[in-house]
Amino acid sequence: MNEAGSHPVEMLHRPGAMLRVRPKIRGHFLQEFNHVYAEARGAGLVMDVFRPAGRANGLGVVDVVSGGWRSDRLLLNEHLGFGLCDALCAAGFTVFAVSPGSAGLFDGRALVLHVHAALRHIKERAAEWGVDPERLALAGVSAGGHLAALAALSPQKARPAGRDPYHRHDTSARAALLFFPPTDLLDFNGHRMDRVHLSEIENHELLFRGGTHGRTEEEIIGRLRELSPVHAAAQFAERHPGQTPPPFLLVHGDADPLVPLNQSERLVAALRAAGGAAELLVRPGGGHPWPDPGPELSAAVRWLDGALR
């Protein structure tokens, strides 16, 4: 049992459940609710847009909101309690809080594609929000960080001749900011995240829509590898010749009871091996998350400002 009394599955599904002292939302933003950025399976995919109440700096952050690979309004509200959006808006950033959908309705591949769709949508309409489409960052907490990392490491090319104006934009991000993300599903604290581990949140449907029933071991291992940012980083040079990964900052507590610190350490090592710049900020005694993330949020905002300039 962790120090806050939450079940480990609840922590991954709802990281905000671990905050014993929630940061106060100071209202440094103006919030636009339920902006539809794409459609999937006949339903709209939405994001909330947070504009700074003060002077905007023209920089945008695509914040992937997901807890246990699920998205809903409750999770967004808890995510706001973490304080990242408030800290970014206070510094002049415009934040696009993207809900990519939920495992069970979509598999992990689709969730990442939804993040790409959000990036294209934001770039196409960047002038409306006063942001530079070439200076966007990806961000995410826990499962949201996992999806943000995969999107950052799988940029899609623009199709200038295409009929769809949104596909005239690529989906590259200039930087990625991740808080305690799962990064290696093939080796997650000594076991795979497959049929058994975290079955309470049906994460087997993250691998395949409908679950892993009837799938071979080879198929399961292949999908675990595909959905692991560590392996995406290792294959980046091969898949994107002449490019290097965008700069990453990972923030992680060394007492995280759910996502081990070595998940961030492995991704940092893989990014550096691929020629990318990657930093790791470790919170001593930090869990998933920790009660007072203010110092780390301030450091992350400063890093992001430098990475996007």
Q: Are 236 and 273 in contact (CB under 8 A)?
A: no
Q: What is the pLDDT of residues 267-308, one digit of tens each?
A: 999 999 999 999 999 999 999 999 999 999 999 999 999 999
Please state the φ and ψ torsions of residue 60, each to the nearest 5 degrees. Answer: -120, 145
* Whole-number Å distance between alpha carbons of 257 and 255: 6
Largest CA distance in the chain: 55
CA atoms within 13 A on the CB side of 145: 27
Q: Quick one: which of 296, 290, 297 has its CA closest to 17?
A: 290
> Hey, what amino acid is at 52?
P
Which domains does the chain show, CATH number per domain? 27-308 (3.40.50.1820)
* Whole-number Å distance between alpha carbons of 102 and 132: 29
Task: For residue 67, give the DSSP letter.
Answer: B
The alpha carbon dihedral of 198, 230, 212, 189 has a sign of negative
Structure tokens at 236: 């980046």
Among 71-80, 93-102, 299-308, name the one with the lowest average pLDDT.
71-80
Average pLDDT over every residue of 5-18: 46
Identify the three-state secondary structure at position 181: coil
How many CB atoms lie under 10 A from the CB of residue 44?
11
Q: Residue 11: pLDDT above 80?
A: no
Please tell me which residue, 299 or 26, carries the higher pLDDT value: 299
Among 4-13, 58-67, 123-132, 161-170, name the one with the lowest average pLDDT.
4-13
Identify the three-state secondary structure at position 37: strand
Average pLDDT over every residue of 36-48: 96
- DSSP H or E segment with residue 297: helix 294-308
Structure tokens at 46: 């939405």
Q: What is the pLDDT of residues 166-223, one digit of tens each?
A: 999 999 999 999 999 999 998 887 666 544 554 444 467 899 998 888 888 899 889 9
Q: What is the pLDDT of residues 99-122, one digit of tens each?
A: 999 999 999 999 999 999 999 999
